[in-house]
Amino acid sequence: MTNLAVACRALILLPAILWWSGCTPMTTLPEDEEKESHFMAGKSRVNSMDYKGAIESFEKALEANPPSASAHFELGLLYEQRENDHATAIYHYQKHLKLRPKSHMAETVRLRIESCKVELAKTVALSLVNQQIHAQLNKLTMENTALRQQIEQLKAQPAQPAPPPTNRPPVVGVISPNNVGLPPTTPPASRPQPLMAASTPSARPSVAGTYQTYVVRPGDNLKRIAERHGVALSAVLAANPGVEPRRLRVGQAIRIPVPNR
């Protein structure tokens, strides 16, 4: 009876085991990952220097086999070396380490992550400097406008009338041994000094505000959004520190830095 019960249980669980083995991706070894058709197409396109096409192929390899650490590594190299997209490269390198922390490429991947972080920090620091310059130019422009308005108001005021003449006797110069034979001297009349316009350094007007909001649409990614708005991807990442590049949602609000004009 015991053997019969075991056999019945095996027959009941067999369909579930077969379904699970057919629907769950089992490709975890590097050799198996690199035999996947999209992965092989990606390697072929890299050899033919079609880097855009290679990225598309490796991304399809991830869709077919999400735990493909090899595909993540290839995408990390392409985004770092061919696209200068260091943020996305860091994402794929970190995915590779998470899936295969003890691979023979693990130490190389860690070095590549540090290098990408250095490059990303350079672009983020430059973006912050540009924002500070923007704020200073905006302040100078406002001050310059206020001074010009004050000058226009002073020009619009009526001129003050000259004082009436007085009947005072002329001032006679004092005779001394130093000025004998010279005509009497009188103090020079004071003249009103013309009003000079205050000179301020001209400043280029800057755009009002620092960011604008963009709502994610189907098919968007951070790189395409940055290119569409004419700003660096690193600046978009710096403005959205809590956003993960590969987990964008349709309808999600993204802050876009306003580019210099």
Task: Look up the CATH number of the domain holding residue 91.
Answer: 1.25.40.10
Percentage of the chain with pLDDT > 70?
A: 65
Q: Check residues 209 and 118 and name the one with the higher pLDDT.
A: 118
- To the nearest 10°, report the CA torsion of 131, 220, 87, 130: -10
Whether residue 50 is contained in a domain is answered as yes
Rounded to an integer, the average pLDDT of 141-153 is 83
Q: pTM score, two decimals?
A: 0.41
In a 10 Å sphere around its CB, with 0-12 CB exposed, 13-18 middle and 19+ buried, how is residue 87 labelled?
Answer: buried
Please state the rounded mean pLDDT for residues 140-167. 76
Residue 198 confidence (pLDDT)? 41
Give pLDDT, residue 91: 96
Residue 97 lies in a domain: yes
H-only helix segments in the chain:
2-23, 30-33, 37-47, 51-64, 69-81, 86-99, 106-156, 222-229, 233-239
**Conformational region of residue 230, where left means phi above 0, alpha means psi within -120 to 50, and beta covers everything else:** left
Would you say residue 6 lies in a domain?
no
CATH number of the domain enclosing 222? 3.10.350.10
Structure confidence at residue 22 (pLDDT): 43
Q: Does any domain span residue 181?
A: no
Residue 162 lies in a domain: no
Q: Which of 122, 156, 189 is the last residue of a domain?
A: 122
Of the candidate ranges 17-21, 31-35, 47-51, 222-226, the one whose mean pLDDT is the lowest: 17-21
In a domain, 220, yes or no: yes
* Rounded Cα–Cα distance for residues 62 and 75 (Å): 10
Tell me what pLDDT residue 137 has: 80
Domain count within the chain: 2
Among 100, 122, 144, the domain-final residue is: 122
Higher pLDDT, 162 or 59: 59
Q: Is residue 45 part of a domain?
A: yes
CA dist 61 and 224 (Å) reads: 21
Domain boundary among 122, 155, 178: 122
CB neighbourhood size of 56 (10 A): 15
Residues 89, 112 contacting (CB under 8 angstroms): yes
Predicted confidence (pLDDT) per residue in 111-130, tens digit: 999 999 999 888 876 666 56
Residue 83 belongs to a domain: yes
pLDDT, position 30 = 85
Domain that residue 115 falls in: 26-122
What is residue 157's DSSP assignment? S
pLDDT at 24: 41
Among the residue ranges 30-34, 97-101, 110-114, the one predicted with the least confidence is: 30-34
Mean pLDDT for 1-28 is 50
